[in-house]
Chains A and B, each alone.
Chain A
Amino acid sequence: MAADWSLPRPGRGALAVWRRNLRVWRKLLAPAVVLNFGEPTLYLLGLGFGLGAFIDTMSGMPYLVFLASGIIASSAMTTASFEATYSVFTRMQVQRTYEAMLATPLTLDDILAGELLWCATKATFSAAAILAVATLLGVVGGWQALWVLPLAFLIGLCFAGPALVMSAVSDNYDFFNYYFVLGVTPMLILSGVFYPIEGLPEGAQAAIQVLPLAHAIALTRPLVAGLPVNDVLLHVAVLVAYAAGGFHVALALTRRRLLV
């Protein structure tokens, strides 16, 4: 139906949905903190020092700086992607939380906008934890690295949008395996988190420029390393386009699914 595709019109109710999720998250703060700090610490210490022993510099910076700046972006990606698939699907279908919300003044536009903001918030938390660990390890180039926090929010929006589309069409949790194996994991491995994409065949490089993670890293890396940031507008535009496009498609498909 055409009405399903009408433009999103979220209101202040989105913040109520965001606060609900924050309230649940605060109850599980301890395991969340362990996950947010523990995982990147392991990566940075294990991979950074282990591989760093063989690799002196990469793209003109110490390997630990290269790795930390890449993992900030990829962690924002995976955090937002998990939240917008498994967790959102649980609230939408399994717990029927949306059904309860839809019987209040909230609209589906409010609900999905709240979810999108929440996914980005969680992505920001995870980026902040990694930034803190990286700072302690002495790999952060200066105060400009704080720009990584609003950037992580944008990266979160960017990956939450398409992941919400997956939740809108999924019938069960297993379906998300396709999305992660065919989309998220290849991006993680190929987009320049662990090594520069210049090493890849040209066709692969072109394909990767169409996907958002490489653009996210193109922004986080110089910010963390204390280098000048190039092509800001292009990279931000790609991230915004995925966020906005993903959200609109997700909202249309979720309207079609729930408002019957």
Chain B
Amino acid sequence: MPPIVRADGLVKRYGGFTAVAGVSFDIPAGCCFGVLGPNGAGKTTTLRMILGMTPMTAGSLSVFGLGMPADGRAIRRRIGVVPQADNLDPDFRVDENLEVHASYFGIDAATARARVPELLAFANLTDRRHAKTDTLSGGMKRRLTIARALINAPDLVMLDEPTTGLDPQARHVIWSRLAALKARGTTLLLTTHYMEEAERLCDELVIMDQGRILDRGTPRELIRRHVEPEVIEVRAGDTARFRAFAEHHGCRLEQQGMSLYCYGQDSAPLLGFLQQDADLVYLHRPAGLEDVFLRLTGRELRD
């Protein structure tokens, strides 16, 4: 089966600044594909190029086997989009937002009206169907935006940081909706900087920084490839003696503020050491995507 999206050497330059510096990837049908990257990595720019909203400086792009930008209209007809910042239409109620959005796809009014109840149920918004959009909470707006993205029964849904800024309850509801979409076989393209989100939802992901793809794989593959299996995080206490001990045992150490991160294969002797010193506060856990992410993109702040 041909890939849903095939991006080859995508470049976007703004004047002298390179926002996307030649990224290539393909997204198989039915996959939930994640783009994980800090702020400014070029995630949104990449999605906009796939939609034809941002002209690419170089590279080539085919979606559903059609070429961008020549077949832009036909491509967008089969995509649903959840943008990074909500852009619901404040002039309309909840149900009208779906109907009006349907009209942009050329879907006739009767068909659109028939689809609305199912989409509102999917988004848990049935009882808010007559509400004005500016009375909705952040989580409800996101759910409505997801419902809106499904109005054209898309083959590909692109979500740009769908849960950024939401509280944990709202985030979990969104995750369950996305999992339901995935179960139906809809191909998803998701950007995020939440590791938990990527680990839960994505079958495959790329880690992106400064316009480049640093690596690609399943969450497990990336963890295995880039970090040791176990992490001990020492959060308080005098770590000087422990540091020497850990180094002697071949651990890789990273200091971040007050915390010392110790990555290694076998933590048993280190834990034995830590248990003897009651002043040392520590956490022992398996390595995760976050460790991969920090290893690849560094620990400096991004704004």
Determine whether A20 belongs to the interface, using a CB cutoff of 8 Å to chain B.
yes
Q: Taking chain A's interface residues, is the majority helix, strand, or loop, or is none over half, making it mixed?
A: helix
| A13 CA to B88 CA, complexed, in Å | 19
B91 touching A13, Cβ below 8 Å: no
| A24 CA to B89 CA, complexed, in Å | 10
Partner of B100, one of A3, A23, A95, A105: A23
A105 touching B77, Cβ below 8 Å: yes
Interface residues of A (CB under 8 A from B): 3, 11-13, 16-17, 19-20, 23-24, 27, 95-97, 99-107, 259-260
Partner of A20, one of B76, B77, B103: B103
CB distance from A9 to the nearest CB of B (A): 11
Which 9 pairs from chain A and chain B are nearest by CB?
A: A104-B104, A103-B81, A96-B87, A100-B87, A24-B91, A105-B73, A16-B103, A105-B77, A105-B76
B87 touching A16, Cβ below 8 Å: no
| A107 CA to B55 CA, complexed, in Å | 13
| A101 CA to B103 CA, complexed, in Å | 10
Partner of A97, one of B54, B55, B87: B87
Q: A96-B87, A103-B83 are in contact. Are A260 and B14 (CB under 8 A)?
A: yes
Contacts of B166 in A (CB 8 A): none
Name which residue of chain B comes closest to A11, CB basis. Answer: B73
B91 touching A104, Cβ below 8 Å: no
Name which residue of chain A comes closest to B152, CB basis. Answer: A104
Determine whether B156 belongs to the interface, using a CB cutoff of 8 Å to chain A.
no
A103 touching B103, Cβ below 8 Å: no
| A213 CA to B74 CA, complexed, in Å | 42
A13 touching B72, Cβ below 8 Å: no
Determine whether B153 belongs to the interface, using a CB cutoff of 8 Å to chain A.
no
Contacts of B79 in A (CB 8 A): 103
| A97 CA to B101 CA, complexed, in Å | 10
| A17 CA to B100 CA, complexed, in Å | 9
Partner of A101, one of B85, B90, B104: B104
B92 touching A99, Cβ below 8 Å: no
Determine whether B53 belongs to the interface, using a CB cutoff of 8 Å to chain A.
yes
Partner of A259, one of B53, B85, B91, B152: B53
The 23 listed contacts between A and B (C-beta, < 8 Å) are A12-B106, A13-B106, A16-B106, A20-B89, A20-B100, A20-B103, A23-B92, A23-B96, A24-B92, A95-B90, A96-B85, A99-B83, A99-B87, A100-B89, A102-B53, A103-B79, A104-B104, A104-B105, A105-B73, A105-B106, A106-B104, A260-B14, A260-B54
Contacts of A20 in B (CB 8 A): 89, 100, 103
Name which residue of chain B comes closest to A102, CB basis. Answer: B53
Name which residue of chain A comes closest to B151, CB basis. Answer: A104
Contacts of A259 in B (CB 8 A): 53-55
| A152 CA to B5 CA, complexed, in Å | 48
CB distance from A83 to the nearest CB of B (A): 14
CB distance from B90 to the nearest CB of A (A): 6
CB distance from A90 to the nearest CB of B (A): 9
Determine whether B213 belongs to the interface, using a CB cutoff of 8 Å to chain A.
no
Contacts of B53 in A (CB 8 A): 99, 102-103, 259
Partner of A16, one of B73, B74, B104, B152: B104
Q: Which of B14, B54, B74, B101 has the most CB of A within 10 A?
A: B101
B92 touching A13, Cβ below 8 Å: no
Given A105-B74, A105-B77, A105-B106, 13 additional A-B pairs, CB 8 A: A12-B106, A13-B104, A20-B89, A23-B92, A24-B91, A24-B92, A100-B87, A101-B104, A103-B83, A104-B76, A105-B76, A105-B104, A259-B54
